[in-house]
Amino acid sequence: MGGNEKYEELVELDGGHFWKGTDDRSAKDGSFPPQLTFVKKFKFNKYPVTNFSFRKFAVAEDYVSTAEEYEWSFVFESDVPDNIKSQITDKLPNAEWWMPVPEARWDQPEGEGSSIDDRLNWPAVHISHIDAEAYCKWKGLRLPTDDEWEFAVRGTLISEWYLLEAISSTLYTPSAASVLEK
């Protein structure tokens, strides 16, 4: 399956006031209590950055990602092939579902032998903040601020956790998922 440039579409968000954070007193990430916040109008990627788009960047710039440089990245245990899983002895305390997989990177999501060839329209994974900034610079864009990110993915929700938070904690890292015009 080939990649599709339609996934590079930007949408304009009007901005305005919104409640950032949560009314959940048990939140341990500093998001309680909610705070009235303002963001200006901005453009935001309609879709996460895809493997197709990130590959175009990596090839054009001969870019070496952080995971490629370190020669490993974390992969969800359920995505690690059994033959690789049996070789891994280290795990993160209190986050056993993450496994450090040798050679896992954006173009080999589950490590050596895996490929993005049939997943070109899937969100790019194993993208560090450094990688995301380099991609954005190449596109003439920038990463969203924390306020812009929350405005875009939360909408008007306050008390409920928003969907993308649940998705990002189980499927992919959103650091490169959203880019803005400069």
In the predicted structure, residue 5 carries a pLDDT above the cut 90: no
- The parent domain of residue 169 ranges over 5-181
In this model, does residue 171 exceed pLDDT 50?
Answer: no
- Interval 60-72 mean pLDDT: 98
Mean pLDDT of 46-66: 96
Number of domains, the chain: 1
Asked if pLDDT for residue 111 goes beyond 70, the answer is yes
**pLDDT tens digits, 8-37:** 899 999 999 988 888 888 888 888 888 899
pTM: 0.80
Comparison of pLDDT for 129 and 86, the residue scoring more: 129
Residue 158 contacts residue 23 (beta carbons within 8 Å): yes
Report yes or no: 27 and 161 within 8 Å, Cβ to Cβ.
no
Confidence at residue 55, expressed as pLDDT on a 0 to 100 scale: 97
CATH of the domain at 66: 3.90.1580.10
* More confident: 159 or 82: 82
pLDDT at 157: 59
Residue 173 pLDDT more than 50? Answer: no
